[in-house]
Structure 1
Amino acid sequence: MSAFVCTLSPDAAPSADAAGRLRHLGIAAHSVISDGPFCAAAGEPVLRPLTARRGALAAAGDVRLDNRADLLRFAAPVRPDAPDLEFVLALFDVHGEHCIPMLAGDFAVVLWDGRTRTLVAARDAFGVRPLFHATAGGTLRIASRLEALAQDAAYDEAWVSGFLLGGSSNPERTLWEGRRAVPPGGVLVAAEGRVQERRWWRAEDFVPARHADGAEAAAQVRRLFADAVRVRLGAPGETWSQLSGGLDSSAVVSTAQWLAEAGEAPGLAGTVSVVDSLGDGDETRYSDEVLRRWNVRGESVRDPWPWQDDGEPPVATDEPRPMFPYWARDRRMCAIVRDAGGRVMLSGQGSDHYLDGPGTFAADLLRTGRVGEALRTVTLHAVARRQSFYHGLWRDALRPLLPAALSGAGARPAAPAWVQQRFARRAGMTAARPRSRPGRVWSDETGVYLRILAGQLERGPFTEGMEVRYPFLDRRLAEFCLRLPVEQRVRPGGSKWVLREAMRGILPEAVRTRRGKGGIDARILWALQHEAPRVGWLLRDPWVAQAGWVDADALRAAVERARQGEVDNLSHLLGTLSLETWLRVRAGAWAPVRAETRDAVAA
């Protein structure tokens, strides 16, 4: 895993600072660019160069473009085989910071103009590539790894509260106070001693149309999605894909093989699936349909569980993750791909955040005077859900329009019982989120979903010698879908209508018409018992309790109730235990538990 660090300091020695922060990560500086107050230092490149120079201009970043051919006429002359980072620098030479909205792809980039002493740092629309910054004593530091900026930092309790509730809704905050993320679709500009932050892309700025031809929309989604898959395929033999058996990952695999069958792309070297035999976690009947249809190699990781000992100590990810204890599963998936010569893994993540969503578009209909449409929408969804019409009318149409003080709309969920109440009050865990704009409830809520997506994308072992690419996070595809009428995305009794229509003839019908998804609750409950010695060790004197965030006795009681089969707040419980685990692993305080002790307790 490589990284880059940039320092902008009018007083200190920026080159020593940037290279030193790389060494803190255990990475030697492979390339260093210094220009007066600016320095960029990067480790040895794994997939692509991380630094570039062009006269008085310099860049550091991880860039993979989808639309380079479309931008050639807008850039300064650059050699055809130049890396994408160098190409972005050629665009920057002509357009300055205005080149950022031109870019489609995955990127975290820092651009320096030595002529004007201006620094521009930007992140792709969906935050596929991470980018962090901190300012102290007049020095601005920007890094691709948060750990490079974390020395001597205190915890940000607002971020912790969001994590304990299932994920922070503020993509700019991090675990460390004063260390911030450049948000998805965000840009930071430093010039003349000032640092300004703004958004260059926002999902909520795309207004759904009132009407559109469904067949034409499906045909366009089919074209855009096929292109999104095509541009993310690597060289022959190096691209794999995750395959769960769900609609999204199956669409990725099937489209890749459909393109290969037509001679338009190299296709996949194989797929990797996680198979869980407990509860409703086994989706092999659907994934097998895809494998049979396209005759593609399928590998699987069977029955993984949290805290599983795979013979190697866990390694802390750059930030805490709700599923961090699944390190054995993640490492095994990546090992399958790397051992077969793979360098790219495709994922189906992303479409849930803009092709699905809440029913609150009924509130938009009501607010804009389309009362009949609003009532008809509420009725159809109530029938499909087998729920009360009046309950749906209140939840989806009336409540979002009332002031927050009357409706409670936008309030965050109540803190789990094990969270210390003093901490909950101090951190504002019951504070209301910003209200949506009148007539834009659906768009604003979709924007929130897409902003928090970056915290759910694959990190850790998935960035070691390989990269994950997300066809559904193709900006051109997402922007088209965000402009579609809501009813072409969500319909009563089903979601992602336009994607299902676009996949006719490509996806096996059993998968295309499938409703619902598998789950892992049963496996988590099993793991709490099977890993009782490990979990007991974590709960003996929890660090999250020492920090004042959690009541240790209440947390132990919640774990015991879960072992008896209680699933309420299970995701929050796993998140709390994940944070406890991550803190110990990061501090080097992880101790192995002997297998015979674990098995004796489980028996």
Structure 2
Amino acid sequence: MSIIFGVRKSEEDLVTEQDLLHLGHTTDRYALDGTSVHSRGRVGMGFQPYHTHERSRLECGPSSDNDTGNMLGFDGRLDNHKELCSLLNIAVPQASDSVIVLAAFARWGESCFARLTGDWALALWCHNDRALYLARDHAGSRTLYYEITKDTLLWTSHLETFFADTPSRTLDETYAAGYLACLPTGNLTPYRGIRSVPPAHYLRFRDDNLLCQPHWTWMVREQISYRSDVEYDEHFLSLFKQSIKRRTIPGAPVIAQLSGGVDSTAIVCVSDAIRREQGVCPEDLLDTISFYDDSEPTWDEKPYFMLVERQRGKVGHHVPASFLKHTYKPHEGTSGIYRLPGQDSYTIEAERDLYQLTEANGYRVVLSGIGGDEVLGGVPNALPELSDLLMCGDLRALCQRSFAWSLPTRKPLIRLIAETIAFTYETYRGDRMAETTAPPWLNPSQLTSLLNQGTNISDTRSLGLRPSAICNGATWWTILDTLPHLSFTLLPSCEYRYPYLDKDLVDFLFRIPRTQIIQPGRRRLLMRRALKGIVPSEVLERPRKAYLLRGPLSSLQHAEAPIRNLFRAPRIAGLGLVNLPNLNLALETLLKGADTCNFRSLTRAIALELWLRSIDNASGPIIAAA
């Protein structure tokens, strides 16, 4: 991903190029293709390109429209650039995406953001309205943060920019509580006052007013209905191929993750089918990377990804990824500071190994299968479908489908109907997840703060929507909170692309009947029908991959001594985030293997403690909120 950043000052102040270069200096190590800046009066923007496709080389820096005085910083890829050029009567050969966006805003104003299809984030200064717009695509595939201090608005796609003049920051305790509770952090960051622009939204800053508006709908009302399964299969396969083509356009070399699961394998095999239709030989197929852990009995992926490699006639990169390598000791900070939690002293070593592999082969793009499990029915849940039938009043169909689902789930019919009624009520009532999933050692005052403020913009409920549509929307935001490009790295990292999160593909999947996605005893129904003969049957029909627990738990038990030392006088207790006796009791139980129900939240506690200590070591303690 390229880096965009900028600043808007008060009417009386000017932004200089030196101001912008000073900000850009913080991310120099990621700016592999240079830095360019542009200022005009009170507004200035910077651009540090990371070229990943041919059209990205048309971007030469922050762009401006001489007719309107508007200025734009753009990072990303417009997949519908040809369509937009036609609508906007842009006849300039090889018009950059920035030129297209400026023309779109001049024509359609704020509504232009809904017309942009692709992976992108942008900052746009409207000269006539004296308004600044920050926006991210529907899936948030690019990061974008902002901070308002007095009369200054600072924005950037990289957290490091905020530390140009302020080495120490105040902890956002609501973020910390949500992180410890394993809840979506929404638009929060670990730092008070620094926020993330929500995916699928644009923010408008005008004078002292802030407007946040969605430009894409993640909970749909309209449904698509076809006469036959074949029509659904053909439409899905067409959109899936289009998504992969969009993310493998000419440019920097692309590498695809191949885990041996259905989602990553489908991306690789469909890409192979596309390229073979074009007459390419095996060596010109996508390169792949596969991570494996021989010590994890529930993650024996080698037989599956090696089977795929044999079928395609090309061996990929195999990378060992044992949980036992984690040290559970703080990162020392000699090579930089991680601005987000989730690392230990081993993380930088793993980063270096991956960076050497990608740098040696010129890779700048990674295709990830994240999202496929959620949008294509990998989770066998009957309740959204049954809830739809309940709300439309079709009691006969509700009883028939409940009986059909009761057989593979082995639930009594009455119990399943009762669960459907309760699920429907909770769906329209709203998200009360924090009340039921918060760990018992989280400080009650922090939980109260989390519930009062809320962090998830997806908490929009409407009686006019089907329950399954609301569930799709909630699932969508859960996916977006786990995307790997949101993690912080100290070395330049590849750009992630997510074929299953393609806007056109998701729009289709969220509009078709749920019975096309999943049936009693049959997950991924549509995917399995459409990809039969393309994906090896051994992978397409494999059982759902087990939740990884033995490896991570063994890793914790192996590092029992450093973990106990970590929690003798933990920073998270000193900051008032946790009840230390309750935390140590839960940790003791986990290390003995007696109770693993709090495993995930305890690993979050360890991660947050390690991160706070690494910051202490590198730049002084993070400041507790007053």
TM-score interval (norm. to shorter): 0.7 to 0.9
Q: Quote the residue 1:363 is aligned against.
A: 387
TM-score norm. by structure 1 comes to: 0.88
Residue matched to 1:294: 312
In 2, distance between residues paired with 1:315 and 1:446?
A: 39
In structure 2, the CA distance between the partners of 1:533 and 1:576, relative to structure 1 (3 Å rule), is same
In the TM superposition, 1:88-99 aligns within 5 A as 88-99=101-112
Describe how 1:434-445 pairs up with structure 2 within 5 A. Answer: 434=459, 436-438=461-463, 439-445=465-471
Task: Mark the CA change 1:453 to 1:51 in structure 2 (over 3 Å): closer, same or farther.
Answer: farther
Structure 1 residues 157 and 128: CA distance shift in structure 2, 3 A? same
Residues 1:8 and 2:8 are matched in the alignment: yes
Residues 391-402 of structure 1 mapped to structure 2, 5 A cutoff: 391-401=415-425
Cα distance, 1:6 vs structure 2: 1.8
Q: Does structure 1 retain, via aligned residues, the 8 Å contact 2:358–2:364?
A: yes
Q: Encode CA deviations 1:75-115: one digit per residue, 9 max, x unaligned.
A: 36364334433432333333332221111111110112324
Change (3 A) 1:299 1:45: closer
Compute the displacement of 1:248 (Å).
0.5
CA–CA distance in 2 between the matches of 1:429 and 1:62? 35
Question: In the alignment, what sits opposite 1:54?
Answer: 65
Shift of the alpha carbon at 1:181? Answer: 1.4
Aligned equivalents of 1:103, 1:325: Cα separation in 2: 40
Where does the alignment leave 5 or more consecutive residues of structure 2 unmatched? Answer: 620-626
What residue is the counterpart of 1:597 in the other structure? Answer: none
Is the aligned partner of 1:387 residue 2:411? yes
Equivalent position of 2:479 in the other structure: 453
3-state SS of 1:491 partner? coil
Provide the C-alpha distance between the structure 2 equivalents of 1:397 and 1:462, rounded to a whole number of angstroms: 49
Q: Report how far residue 326 of structure 1 moved.
A: 5.7
Match of residue 577 from structure 2: 549
Aligned AA for 2:173? E
Q: 1:496 to 1:268 in 2, by over 3 A?
A: same
In the alignment, what sits opposite 1:596?
none
Is the CA contact (8 Å cut-off) linking 2:75 and 2:122 kept in structure 1?
Answer: yes
1:413 alignment partner, SS class? helix
TM-score (norm 2): 0.85
Deviation at 1:481, TM superposition (A): 0.9
Aligned with residue 172 of structure 1, among 187, 211, 236: 187
Residue 46 of structure 2: SS of its match in structure 1? strand
In the alignment, the residues of structure 2 paired with residue 531 and residue 137 of structure 1 have an alpha-carbon distance, to the nearest angstrom, of 46
Structure of greater relative contact order (alpha carbons < 8 Å, 6+ residues apart): 2
Range with greater deviation from structure 2 (262-271 or 236-245)? 262-271
Specify the alignment match of 1:42 in structure 2: 47
CA 1:2–1:470: 2 relative to 1, 3 Å: closer
Given candidates 125, 130, 155, the residue that maps to 1:112 is 125
Report sequence identity in percent. Answer: 25
Cα distance in 1, alignment partners of residues 181 and 242 from structure 2: 37
Which residue number corresponds to residue 521 of structure 2?
Answer: 493
The residue type paired with residue 416 of structure 1 is P
Equivalent residue for 1:159, pick from 168, 172, 175 = 175
Deviation of the 1:424 alpha carbon: 2.5
Partner of 2:273: 258
1:275 to 273, 285, 292: 292
Task: Provide the C-alpha distance between the structure 2 equivalents of 1:385 and 1:334, rounded to a whole number of angstroms.
Answer: 45
Residue pair 1:207, 1:482 contacting (<8 A) in 2 also: no
Structure 2 distance, partners of 1:463, 1:391, is 52
Given the superposition, is the C-alpha separation of residues 535 and 398 from structure 1 closer, same or farther in structure 2, using an over 3 Å criterion?
closer
Per-residue CA deviation, residues 157-184 of structure 1 (Å, 9 max, x unaligned), is 322222122232x522222233221111
- Residue 171 of structure 2 aligns to which amino acid in structure 1? Y
Tell me the distance in 2 between the aligned counterparts of 1:90 and 1:432.
Answer: 34
CA contact (8 A) 2:337 2:618 kept: no
Match of 1:421 among 429, 437, 444: 444
Q: How far apart in 2 are the matches of 1:430 and 1:257?
A: 47
Any gaps of 5 or more consecutive residues in structure 1?
591-603
The superposition leaves residues 404-444 of structure 1 with CA deviations (integer Å, 9 ceiling, x where unpaired) of 88x99656424213222343334338989957433522211
Distance 1:452 1:270 in 2: 29
> Do the aligned partners of residues 233 and 551 (structure 1) sit closer, same or farther apart at CA in structure 2, a change above 3 Å counting?
same
The 3 A distance-change label for structure 1 pair 289 and 372 is farther
Structure 1 stretch 245-254 or stretch 295-304: which is displaced more?
A: 295-304
1:134 aligns with 2:160: no
Counting matched residue pairs gives 589
Alpha-carbon distance in structure 2 between the residues aligned to 1:532 and 1:78: 65
Q: Secondary structure at the match of 1:272?
A: strand
Residue by residue over 1:321-343, the C-alpha shift from the partner in whole angstroms, topping out at 9 and shown as x without a partner, is: 59997665565445433322212
Amino acid at match of 2:270: T
Residue among 334, 338, 346 paired with 2:359: 338
Give the drift of 1:354: 2.4
Structure 1 pair 324/145, CA: closer, same or farther in 2 (3 Å)?
farther
Cα deviations by residue, 1:182-203 (Å, 9 ceiling, x for unpaired): 1110011233553211111121
Aligned position for 1:567:
596
Q: Which moved more, 1:254-263 or 1:462-471?
A: 462-471
The 10-residue stretch of structure 1 (466-475 or 526-535) with the greater mean CA deviation from structure 2: 526-535
Go from structure 1 to structure 2 and tell me whether the alpha carbon gap of 1:59 and 1:187 turns closer, same or farther (over 3 Å shift).
same
Task: State the match for 1:595 in structure 2.
Answer: none
The Cα of 1:506 is off from its aligned counterpart by 0.7
Give CA deviations for 1:503-532 in whole Å, capped at 9, x if unaligned: 111100011112211433111111113333
Does residue 319 (structure 1) correspond to residue 320 (structure 2)? The answer is no
- More off after superposition, 572-581 vs 143-152: 143-152
The amino acid that maps onto 1:437 is: S
CA displacement, residues 215-258 of structure 1 (integer Å, 9 cap, x when unaligned): 11111111110111112114488111111111111101111111
Matched residue of 2:138: which SS? Answer: coil
* CA distance in structure 1 between the partners assigned to 2:549 and 2:389 by the alignment: 37
Distance of aligned partners of 1:107 and 1:208 in 2 relative to their CA distance in 1, 3 Å threshold: same
- Compute the displacement of 1:587 (Å): 4.2
Equivalence map 1:575-594=2 (5 Å):
575-589=604-618
- Could you tell me how far apart the structure 2 residues matched to 1:234 and 1:432 are? 36
The Cα shift of 1:484 comes to 0.5
> Given the alignment of the two structures, is residue 352 of structure 1 paired with residue 373 of structure 2, yes or no?
yes
Counterparts of 2:279 and 2:186, CA distance in 1: 37
What's the CA shift for 1:363?
A: 1.7
Letter in 2 for 1:367: M
Give the counterpart of 2:98 among 56, 74, 85.
85
Give distance in 1, aligned partners of 2:574 and 2:119: 39
Partner of 1:223: 238
**Map of 1:185 onto structure 2:** 200
Does the Cα contact within 8 Å between 2:338 and 2:490 map onto a contact in 1? no
- Corresponding letter in the other structure for 1:427: L
Q: Which amino acid aligns with 2:102?
A: L
Alignment-derived partner of residue 563 in structure 2: 535
